[in-house]
Amino acid sequence: MPIPGNLLTTAMGVMPHTDINRALEIVRSLDIPFWPQLPHLNYYEDMYVQASEHFPGMVVNLEKRTLGFSMDDFIGQYEEMLSHMDDPGYFDISGTYSAVYQKFLNLDLSSYKAVHGQLEGPISFGFNVRDGNGRPVLFDDTIRPLIFEIFAKRINVQLKRLKEKNENAFMYIDEPGLQFIFNAMSGYDNITAAGDMERFLAMVDRPRGIHLCGNPDWDFLLEMDIDILSLDAYTNKEVISSYAGSVKKFLEHGGIICWGIVPTNYEPFNKENIRSLADSLSGTWDKIIEKGVDRDFLLSRSLLSPATCCLVNPDKEKTVEKAYLLIGELSSALREKYLLTDK
């Protein structure tokens, strides 16, 4: 099984650190490490900026830390991009856009159960990046299909490089924007999104998954053709337990769920401990199990992670590092409770 379960630990991409070596040390304490995105290090390390590399029309202002789109630049740069469509390396993340990624790839990662990478998702990118009139590029019928095509190439080349370091590598598509498509005011509805995502995922190599720390329509996500779903179970535990039927189908079709349970924000973190978090997550699982999901099967297809990324704590990276330590301790406690011995 390329993506392990059994309550092993991992996390998602963004960290508040400015010290690359320290950030890599922290992520390597997990069962499934990843290369972290460090936007406080420089603006190129921002997840949206990293995803924009070589996409025609992107306007990156490092001083103002803004990312926009220019149609004039798009027209001027489009032919250049077309000339590289058969060159996978062109769509990888360069050393300029992430020194962290390159350093991660130089590590010996062969002994880990798995590793993962990540890229900002096309829908979230399209919502976030706006043209000169303030209009999201997702609404442009010319630009939108190209976003999905180029992002598929970017995910595939990164996955290929990670698999050279660890054969059980997989990719997360970070899609916070998926929680907004069910709002009638979004301008991009769930029907359109479903079609776009189906075509997009058909271009993306496996194993691939979605990370989302918001609260979308969970049926929409759980019915996608993905191998892993990473969610904020700390905030959404009551909601997700009501989708037991969809959870069961997702797991039976081979899916893995990564339960984000340890808060990384300063105030909620300091209100919790191993016991409270273990009870909270076990309670969520119990509600799902009561509706027909086998406990052992659920645990065998579950990972644990911090609940969200956090860049705004008053103590900078300290609480985040404590959360990474706590997720390891929580994993050990729950694995002992449920007699999961292989690690």
Beta-carbon contacts of 64 under 8 Å, excluding residues fewer than 6 positions away, are none
User: Mind listing the pLDDT tens digit for each residue in 193-243?
Assistant: 889 999 999 999 999 999 998 887 889 899 999 999 999 999 998 899 999
Q: What angle is formed at CA 44 by the lines to CA 119 and CA 132, rounded to 5 degrees?
A: 90
CATH of domain 8-40+110-337: 3.20.20.210
Q: Tell me what pLDDT residue 182 has.
A: 67
What is the model's pLDDT at position 178?
A: 85
pTM score, two decimals?
Answer: 0.95
Q: Could you report the per-residue pLDDT of 53-92, keeping only the tens digit for each? A: 999 999 999 999 999 999 999 999 999 999 999 999 999 9
Angle at 230 between CA 227 and CA 231, to 5 degrees: 140
Residue 330 confidence (pLDDT) above 90: yes
The H or E element spanning position 260 is strand 256-262
Q: How many CB atoms lie within 10 A of CB 256?
A: 23
What is the percent of the chain with per-residue pLDDT over 70, rounded to a whole number?
A: 98
Q: Tally helices (H) and strands (E) across the chain.
A: 14, 9
Question: How far, in Å, CA of 200 to CA of 217, rounded?
Answer: 19
236-270 pLDDT tens trace:
988 999 999 999 999 999 999 999 999 999 999 99
